[in-house]
Amino acid sequence: MGLLQHQFSKEFRDIVDFVYNQHFVLDQKLKKEYTDYQKMRMREDIEYNLSFLEISYRLDDKTIFHEYSLWLMSLMMNLMPHVGLTRMKEKMVLHYQLMKEAFKIIKVYDNIDIINQMIDDAILSTNNFQNYAYDAFVTDDRFGLMRRKYLDYLLKHDSKSAMNFIMELFNAGFTLDEIYIDIIQKVMVEVGQLWHRGDIGVAEEHFITVATQSVLSQFYPIIFSTTKKNLRLLSCSVGNELHEMGIRMISDLFEYHGWDTLYLGAAVPKKSILESIESERPHVVALSVTMPQHLLLCRDIALEIKTKYPDVLVGVGGRAFTMTNEIWKTWNVDLYATDARKLIQLSEEKVIRVD
């Protein structure tokens, strides 16, 4: 059995209860350091942490939990800098040790050795943690200052100026690909990092996302007026995935480049995806995953698509894949890309060969 598959099983509750309760037994300081709200969130976080361990185990990709342990340590330091690095390391190492102890007592996985290896790696990463490095939000390339200016408008809640600025760039000769990929996409990555560092809150992040969707909508008359190539794309986010802006932007650019697109949105059930493929017969199906917990479902959907519709090209992408050891190479998929520009190029090359 697994944690994702049996989230409400007795074994799952027992694992969470054990780790949660033992934290306070072994670390008496926590009772004073944590408020009631923080204790509630701590329990939720234990469930969340275990879900990453679970998906790493089931996909046989230790990189997922390794990358998550780095991300988690950085997040905790940003959320609670007053705790200090040494104390935070102590807390996280204890957390992982309690996870190991719980799995010894409560039978959940057949191969406990792999679980122990992943947890030991997380402990090592935590002890060696110094500073989780992000890709720089560079200002020394052709688009850097434009990204900075656009983001500054949004951080000031000046949606109108942000919208006008992006349209000015387009009217000045910047291509839609450049605006979408080199400016907007990288700004949204930076926004996520600002949240992770604690520089902005959830409300601010959501405002920027919604404002940017409005900015991009002004290009729809242009996007939908291009000459079509008799090529069809179906795209969506899989599972209970609510992050859908990236795949929406990809769909926009496919449409702009002459494809007919059917964008299904976020949290699309597998049954609905398959029904849409049956009725629409797309050349390419693009599946997006942001949270690694949905990778397993993505793999299963891709496999079923290729089994039922072998001539349909299946492409995958999204932030979750960047946390893996190139796991898509072991799947029955045809395409992987980190941005729309590359995905369109690969799709048109392969569609020509298939057709």
Within a domain: 2: no
Residue 246's CATH number = 3.40.50.280
Quick: pLDDT tens for 122-169. Answer: 999 999 998 655 455 555 578 988 999 999 999 999 999 999 999 999
Closest CA to 3 of 41, 40, 58, 82: 58
Q: What is the pLDDT of residue 329?
A: 96
Specify the amino acid at residue 141: D
Query: What is the DSSP-derived secondary structure letter of residue 29?
Result: H
Residue with tokens 């230790």: 62
Are 122 and 156 in the same domain?
no
CB 283 within 8 A of CB 233: yes
Q: pLDDT of 245-267, one tens digit each?
A: 999 999 999 999 999 999 999 88
pLDDT tens-digit series, residues 54-93:
899 999 999 999 999 999 998 888 878 888 889 899 989 9
Number of domains in the chain: 3
Q: Which two tokens stand for residue 38?
A: 């923080």
The pLDDT, as a whole number, for residue 140 is 57
Residue 5 forms part of a structural domain: no
Is residue 6 very low, low, confident or very high in pLDDT (cuts 50, 70, 90)? Answer: very low
Task: Express each pLDDT in 96-106 by its tens digit.
Answer: 999 999 999 98
pTM: 0.85
Pair (208, 235) in one structural domain: no
- 218: tokens are 């002004």
Residue 355 in this model has a pLDDT that exceeds 50: no
Rounded Cα distance between 172 and 248, Å, is 25
- Determine the structural domain holding residue 99 and report its residue range: 10-127
Task: Specify the pLDDT at position 5.
Answer: 46
Mean pLDDT of the chain: 89
Cross-strand bridge partners of residue 336: 316
The one-letter amino acid at 10: K
The single-letter code of the amino acid at 60 is D
Name which of 138, 96, 135 is nearest 117 in CA terms.
96
Residue 73 lies inside a defined structural domain of this protein: yes
CA–CA separation, 18 and 10 (whole Å): 12
Residues in the chain: 355
Let me know if residue 4 belongs to a domain: no
Using the CB atoms, write b or e for 299-311: b if 16+ within 10 Å: bebbebbbeebee
